[in-house]
Amino acid sequence: MEMLADEPMDFSVTRLPFFLRPELPGINKTLGDTKDERTWQISESPGTWGQQMDRYTKKYPEKFGGENQAPDARVGISWQASEVGLKFTFDQHMSNSMDALRLLMKVQREQSANVREDFFEVVSRKYFTEGRCLADHAMLLEAAVEAHVPTDGLLQWLQSGEGTWEIQRKYAEIFYGWGYTSVPVTLVSCEGLDQHIQGSQNLKAYLQVFRRLLEPLPAKVPEQKLPIWEKYARVAQATGTPNGKDFSWEAQDIFFGATAEDLRQRGQGSS
């Protein structure tokens, strides 16, 4: 950000729930050796993150192996990680991120900005570089301790499933109502000026967004100054789908219905 070094900028980060694999095991459960109502087992996972990268390479061969292209998805994402000093591991078994997201949303509501960011960084490190499963309450509690999140009663809260349905419904709203069907997406709002960056972009894309905020901003009435994500939510909830306006039907289908079953079948195959 050297080109903006003389223009200090304060901003806050709000993270919204999104699932790349909503059908994965581990919703409101923790990794365990035996299966019961509170645990899931490694055998339920469709494979490791590395195996998922290999399937992606096979499905999209045109994205790899050419001039200025990585030979495969593992190498490609490792290159990106190395640019910020990270070394990814690929042997972690895939599991549902629901409880990690539930806790992230709780921390986002209740803790300071520094604690929120610390917790996100710790969980990301444990998954991407240490190879820990996301649906593992022991890992989430370790991350909470490291980020100085109060842990009194936290295990019981994780086991309770509190907030699960609202996150599932919100994800369905974002997917069907906002139109965002893939990540990453960065939404930026300032005094009614709304911008977004979609897909993996380089530093230049972010610099363009922040430079725009340094220019004189158009006058807006209070209603127009709502953050873009709140505007999206209002429009989506007013419009809805043929199944209703709260996206409950879509949430049920994505996580438990025909769509979930289809995702499971595709995730276990070669595509």
> Over the stretch 212-223, which tens digit does the pLDDT of each residue have?
988 898 889 988
pLDDT at 3 over 60: no
- Whether the CB-CB separation of 95 and 136 falls below 8 Å is answered with yes
Per-residue pLDDT, 266: 80
pLDDT at 270 over 50: no
Q: Considering the entire predicted model, what is its pTM?
A: 0.89
Question: Element (H or E) spanning 26, and its range?
Answer: none
- Whether the CB-CB separation of 80 and 200 falls below 8 Å is answered with yes
162 band by pLDDT with thresholds 50, 70 and 90: very high
Average pLDDT over residues 136-157: 98
Q: What span, in angstroms and rounded, lies between the C-alpha atoms of 226 and 222?
A: 7
Q: Which of 1-5, 73-77, 97-101 has the lowest mean pLDDT?
A: 1-5
Per-residue pLDDT, 268: 62
Alpha helices in 85-243 (DSSP H): 98-110, 113-128, 137-146, 154-160, 164-172, 203-214, 228-239
End-to-end C-alpha distance for the chain, whole angstroms: 39
Crossing angle (nearest 10°) for helices 164-172 and 98-110? 100
pLDDT at 267 over 50: yes
- Whether the CB-CB separation of 99 and 26 falls below 8 Å is answered with yes
Percent of the chain beyond pLDDT 90? 74
- Whether the CB-CB separation of 250 and 243 falls below 8 Å is answered with yes
Q: What span, in angstroms and rounded, lies between the C-alpha atoms of 55 and 53?
A: 5
Largest CA distance in the chain: 60
Instruction: Identify the sign of the CA torsion 123, 129, 130, 135.
Output: positive
69 band by pLDDT with thresholds 50, 70 and 90: confident
